[in-house]
Amino acid sequence: MTEAFALVLHSHLPYARGAGRWPHGEEWVHEAILGTYLPLLGLLHDLRERGVAYQITIGLTPTLIEQLADRDIDARFIEYCDDQIHRADTDVRRFVDDGNTERGSIARFYASLYRAHRDAYLRRFDRDLVGAFASLARTGHVEILTSGATHGYLPLLDRASVHAQLAVGRRTTRRLLGVEPRGIWLPECAYAPGLEDILEMHGLTHFFTDAALLGGKRLVAEGHAFERERSGSGLAAPLIASADDTLRPYLVRESNVVAIARHDKVSGQVWSAMMGYPGEAAYREFHRKDDRSGLRYWRVTDTKTGLGAKEPYSPGAAAERVRTHAVHFVGLVRETLASHRDEHGGDALLTVTFDSELFGHWWFEGVDWLGHVLRGLAADGPSPLSVAEYLRRNAATERIDLVEGSWGKNNDHSTWSNERTAWMWSDLARMAREMGDLRAARPTDPPRVRAARQAARELLLAQSSDWPFLVTTGQAADYAVERFRSHALRFRRSLELARTGASRGTGRSGSGTFDRRLRAFGRDLAFGGNGDGRHRLFFDVDRDGLHEELIRVVDDADHRLVDDEIADVEGVVDLDQRRQVDVDRVRDVLRKGLDVHVVAGVDEHRAERLHRGRLVDEVQRHFGVGLLSEAHALEVDVKQASGERVARHAVDQRGDRVAVEALER
């Protein structure tokens, strides 16, 4: 008899490279690297080096690893880390001057911690976090799960898009991590009957589900199209009697794909901020920050206490509670398995699933807690195994008629599909039909194939489940709406180029203009290229014809060309070649949405610049993400030897267009 414990972490961030910084945008990635991925990797590598016998399962979504492998994000993360160190050092001096020794010691703790993480990033992991995860996979300590390319909500997508999400996602995992993923984290744990057959077509053998989907009670009012396409015998498959046993993997319907349910009670001991460990009084309070530095100096105190009444944080006191809670959790795992042994007998796999970002970022002490738990289980059992290893030892033999649903509120689709997001799903359905028409047309000449490939990328990015989620929860609704609209706009511009070789409203045609408009996407958010041909977002958007339902494409060596439509259209000042633009001041204008002039002459503001860059890049990176509104145009004066011109970049609120005008003074 085999009894095992499976710890499953789901790591995901939406694609935010260059799409704003703060409060919404790329800084999400920087925060997660510093708060979660670096501490987590440090722990797992330490345990391996010390000979601790552990295995865990980690899902790394394609959009996340694309960003972790991006050289621009790498450089900007170092800047972010240096900024956090500077803030901590400044706080040390401030609190010493104020005589606040208690808070000063915490500031020194932060400064030391951030320096250690920075050193680990540069030296231990050689600025390659993707490689650090891959190393753990090669030694068998970590099982890597793939996911949908952009974390698309699969039950609400058309069949061709589901194939695209899975094919591109799996290939991205294989390319960047060097592993052949067999397991998948279904985005939002969202399942519809028949999806198991599509997973099997893509070589995937197991996924994770919410326990409620084992119960046989329909959670969604109307079945998805996948279910209606299944055979009658599949639909009539009887429910097994032990469907309430969540400590057992099940084959799904007539497939060879296995579903593993998370254990609600044991998982809830961690993820619940009100009843779980993170709500402990001694742990650091996430929501209260210092007004000047943004660092956190307070503890939870009580989950019902207002932020203004929070008491000072003590890392030492928190560390004591971490050890206590780890012992309690290990005991709970053993008790749960013992209870299952008495009631059911036989093999048992106790599975808990969490978002990786809970540990370190949201729950500051969480990574330390993980370390204590893994050491405790490795020493005295039950064995912490990867799900793949457990299934290798104990193949699933019972079948279940899994019902449609998700791990969202009420276990249905309402968190993502509701009155506030209905327009998104309508637009996605229309875009999918248009992509289907393009797929049938099969563009063959290279320029149109390039445009078709870009349309495929933009459709994938628009399908991210993050956009409707952020709208529903209100966490970053405006940002999500503008991101969705910008990808929909780029999709339709790419689609027109792929169909006709011209874009609506240009009034021009011909190979020169066509090629120039294609290059407009060269430094687009959706490409994420590094200029050396080694990395581009979704390089795998079907370079080998992955599936007949995808656009057939080839490698693109021209993905870093600058947008000629903006930079050099019929006499408009070539801002791309004028590398003297004060990008920092431009960024401030973009962030604040101020309607002001930014003077950026060839020789001006050099002393003020902290980063080199191009105005064109900044405008394009912020285009369509709500940082400029209809009433706020950014005007940049550029002195030119032949006279003075004004290049005006106006971005309307819907992100429908970028207008570039050259005005003679």
Pinpoint the residues of the chain covered by CATH 3.20.110.10.
Answer: 3-410
Question: Is 264 an annotated catalytic residue?
Answer: no
Q: CA torsion angle for 519, 525, 526, 528 (degrees, to 10)? A: 90
594, two tokens: 């101020």
Statement: 3-410 belongs to CATH 3.20.110.10:
yes
- Could you tell me if 188 and 408 are in contact, meaning their C-beta atoms sit under 8 angstroms apart? yes
Give the alpha-carbon dihedral of 209, 212, 218, 222, to 10 degrees: -50
Give the list of residues 6+ apart from residue 255 with CB closer than 8 angstroms, or none: 196, 197, 199, 200
- Calpha distance 257→273 (Å, rounded): 33
Residue-level pLDDT at 144? 98
Tell me the pLDDT band of 615, cut-offs 50, 70 and 90: very low
Please indicate whether residue 188 is annotated as part of the active site. yes
Out of 355, 584, 604, 656, which one is annotated catalytic?
355
**Range(s) within the chain of domains with CATH label 1.20.1430.10:** 422-561
Token couple for 46? 């330490």
Tens digit of pLDDT for each residue in 140-152?
Answer: 999 999 999 999 9
**Which has more pLDDT, 64 or 233?**
64
422-561 homologous superfamily: Families 57/38 glycoside transferase, middle domain (1.20.1430.10)
How many CB atoms neighbour CB 229 within 10 A? 12
Q: What is the pLDDT of residues 91-106, one digit of tens each?
A: 999 999 999 999 999 9
Residue of 512, 515, 492 lying closest to 446 (CA atoms): 515
pLDDT tens profile 385-439:
999 999 999 999 889 989 899 988 888 999 999 999 999 999 999 999 999 999 8
Q: Find the catalytic residue in 31, 72, 188, 210.
A: 188
- Banded pLDDT at 293 (limits 50, 70, 90): very high
- pLDDT of 433-465, one tens digit each? 999 999 888 888 888 888 899 999 999 999 999
